[in-house]
């Protein structure tokens, strides 16, 4: 996690030891732990393992790894389709076909015009929201432009109108490309958000996961020159060398990821600290946090 | 402007002519103009020229141009400092020194340890917000996590608590790097937001402008490997070939930009269309818009 609290300190200022902050005079109390410190000091019990069957390991040229968690609880049919495409090898030799600035990076299987492999549901249901009431919804507690309520469900950023709940289009969230309705996309073309959250897409597309690691090289790819950021020439695309489900890899050495337990006290402390930053850099704590600035911390399993 | 309404249609679906949308049966009324169409059809009178004295033209290697508008009405001392650094040639030979994923790209003058050039205020006031009541504040009309109210002031995205008003940290907004308070930065190191809006920085840093054009290659630079995304090696940096104030360039052929008049009816229609998307792609219009998804459209002056 970046040390956001000090992230904009100029590198050009010689002295970095001034600690004034918050208008306190005289002996200041010891500073509260920063969000980063809270995460670093979290006990092992504060972390939840990502199931190996929900972890897609995508390899790009140069050995760069993109680790993607499937939101099987929110979009089970789309998640199952993606597993089936991965296991049939359809993403091997696929490519990143589109990068639109402040919006999305998008990738697709190789030769997508073939009849889908066994196990793929050709026309999945519209898994755009759910009326499920479990696992529990933990309210974030701050206003949201788009929904009556936002919060977290089992490690995921979620909005709710009090009846339905749905995943939110935050940075790094992964959705299923589709054409006009009633098509919902079958999972052979996916995108990840790489800009300010396009929340107007919420409940309009099946969000199906989140990039846990390796989004940086994808977000840093050249933007495509065609309409909507598609690349005009095949040679502009970045090849997907392979995609595998972690559970299918040898247990020894396979990638394993963890998400901070969003039902636990460490996450609650992290949210509170992010909403109320108080180190020497900040003049005025926001006293608030929007759902896409509250993406649950993740880490490679130590 | 990207055609966001159709932005996630899969390129892999053969048929793109299905128009169902919104559950209408029988003869559908003609579709309302999209946000992009509203901008494309705006009359010349709907656009406001960016003053040439507020336009910084930064040239990167390969002739890539970054056009930056100074928010002189919000941070006049910092804006004047930046003009002075530019006119003294301090940014020529400077560099992009930091790229942090989902956060900021940051650049600095060359040899920043020198005594500042004439006209630079060494310790500017904290231009983090203002009690000004003109130009008028046009409310956006939707909830915001961080402020009681958001809207626009003369082409800028703004939040307000009913007393003060301040610029918001949206994608492409430019701020002044600083160390701990009371330092506010003198303008020789700047950053632009390239990720989800870090709104907790609002009222903590002097926002001083906006990238109008050319942010894509900056946002696509490799992320820095050091703490906070700084580049560890000088050769990783991108040089700033030159920076000029547009007013200082020959009038013929110099860059000129326009921002859609945020006080006018075209902008109001654009906001309404973005909050209520209704083409064949959307199942459910958001009925809302957050301030950082309402960045006023800009264009090179035709």
Query: How would DSSP label each residue in chain A?
Result: ---GGGTTB-TT-S-------TT--SSPPPPPPPHHHHHHT--GGGEEEPPGGGEEEEE-GGG-EEEEEE-TTT-HHHHHHHHHHHHTTTTTT-EEEEEETTTEEEEE-SSTTSPPPTT--SS---TT-B----SPPEE--S--SS-SEEEEETTEEEEE-SS-EEE---TTEEEE-B-STT----SSEEEEE-SS--GGGTTTS-EEEEEEE-HHHHHTSPPPSSGGGB-SSGGGSEE--EEEEGGGS-TTT---EEEE-TTSHHHHHHHHHHHS--STT-SS--S---GGG-PPPEEE--
- CA pair distance B47, B240, nearest whole angstrom: 30
State whether B8 and A201 contact (CB < 8 Å): yes
- Record: contact B185-A10, CB cut-off 8 A: yes
Cβ contact, residue pair A283, B103, below 8 Å: no
Chain A residues touching residue B164 (CB < 8 angstroms):
none
Looking at chain B from residue 105 to 134, which residues have their Cβ under 8 Å from any Cβ of chain A? Answer: 106, 108, 112-113, 126, 128
Q: A149: nearest CA in chain B? A: B145
Which residue of chain B has the CA closest to A214?
A: B101
Tell me which chain B residues have a C-beta less than 8 angstroms from the C-beta of A7. 100, 103-104, 228
Q: Which of A20, A195, A293 sits opposite B180 (nearest CB)?
A: A20
Torsion of CA B191, B194, B197, B198, to 10 degrees: -50
The whole-model pTM stands at: 0.92
pLDDT in tens, chain A (302 residues): 333 333 454 443 322 222 233 333 455 667 789 999 999 999 999 999 999 999 999 999 999 999 999 999 999 999 999 999 999 999 999 999 999 999 999 999 999 999 999 999 999 999 999 999 999 999 999 999 999 999 999 999 999 999 999 999 999 999 999 999 999 999 999 999 999 999 999 999 999 999 999 999 999 999 999 999 999 999 999 999 999 999 999 999 899 999 999 999 999 999 999 999 988 999 999 999 999 999 999 999 99
Any idea which residue has 């977000």 for tokens?
A: A219
Using 50, 70 and 90 to split pLDDT, how confident is the model at B2?
Answer: very low
What would the mean pLDDT of B135-157 be, rounded to a whole number? 98
- Look at the block and give the residue holding tokens 């996916």: A190
Distance of CA A226 to the CA centre of its chain: 26
Region B60-84 average pLDDT: 98
Which tokens belong to A204? 């309009």
Give the pairing of strands B138-139 and B104-108.
unpaired
d(CA B268, CA B264): 7
Q: Count CA within 13 A, CB hemisphere, residue B210.
A: 23
pLDDT at residue number B267: 98
Which residue on chain B is closest to A202 by alpha carbon? B286
Q: Which of B154, B148, B155 is nearest to B202 (CA)?
A: B148
pLDDT of residue A210: 98
Helix (H) or strand (E) holding B80: helix B76-87
Alpha carbons B108 and B165: distance in angstroms, whole number: 28
Residue-wise pLDDT tens digits, B232-253: 999 999 999 999 999 999 999 8
The per-residue pLDDT for B16 is 26
Closest CA relative to residue B195, chosen from B172, B177, B211, B215: B172
Q: d(Cα B99, Cα B96) in Å, to the nearest integer?
A: 8
Rounded Cα distance, B134 and B153, in Å: 8
* Residue of B10, B36, B124, B151 for testing the chain A interface, max A β-carbons within 10 Å: B10
Q: Which two tokens stand for residue A214?
A: 């390796």
Residues of A numbered 33-52 whose beta carbons fall under 8 angstroms of chain B's beta carbons: which are they?
none
Per DSSP, what are the bridge partners of residue B59? B65, B242
Closest CA to A72 of A267, A169, A206: A206
pLDDT per residue over B250-278, tens digit each? 999 899 999 999 999 999 999 999 999 98
Strand, coil or helix: what is B272?
Answer: helix
A6 Cβ under 8 Å from any chain B Cβ: yes
pLDDT at B22: 34
- The 8 Å CB, 24+ separation contacts for B234-239 are B234/B95, B237/B95, B237/B96, B237/B97, B238/B60, B238/B61, B238/B95, B238/B96, B239/B60, B239/B61, B239/B93, B239/B94, B239/B95
């Amino acid at each position: 996690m970046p040390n956001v609290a000090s992230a904009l300190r100029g590198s050009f200022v010689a002295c970095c030891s001034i600690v004034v902050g918050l208008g306190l005079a005289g002996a200041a109390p010891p500073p509260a732990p920063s969000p980063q410190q809270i995460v670093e000091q979290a006990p092992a019990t504060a972390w939840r393992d990502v199931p190996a069957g929900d972890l897609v390991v995508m390899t790009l040229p140069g050995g760069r790894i993109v680790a993607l968690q499937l939101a099987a609880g929110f979009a089970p049919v789309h998640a199952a389709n993606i597993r089936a495409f991965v296991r049939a090898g359809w993403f091997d030799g696929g490519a990143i076909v589109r990068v639109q600035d402040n919006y999305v990076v998008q990738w697709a299987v190789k030769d997508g015009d073939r009849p889908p492999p066994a196990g793929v549901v050709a026309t999945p249901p519209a898994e755009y929201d759910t009326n499920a009431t479990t696992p529990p919804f933990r309210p974030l507690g701050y206003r949201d432009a788009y929904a009556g309520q936002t919060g977290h469900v089992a490690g995921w950023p979620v909005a709710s109108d009090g009846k339905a709940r749905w995943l939110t289009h935050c940075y790094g969230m992964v959705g299923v490309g589709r054409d006009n309705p009633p098509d919902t996309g079958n999972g052979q073309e996916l995108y990840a958000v790489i800009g300010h959250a396009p929340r107007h897409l919420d409940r309009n597309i099946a969000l199906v996961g989140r990039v846990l690691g390796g989004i940086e090289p994808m977000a840093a790819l050249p933007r495509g020159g065609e309409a909507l950021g598609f690349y005009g020439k095949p040679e502009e695309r970045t090849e997907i060398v392979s995609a595998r489900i972690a559970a299918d890899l040898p247990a020894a050495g396979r990638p394993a990821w963890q998400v901070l337990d969003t039902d636990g006290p460490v996450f609650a402390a992290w949210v509170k600290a992010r909403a109320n930053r108080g180190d020497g850099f900040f003049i005025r704590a926001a006293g608030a946090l929007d759902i896409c600035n509250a993406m649950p911390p993740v880490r490679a399993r130590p």
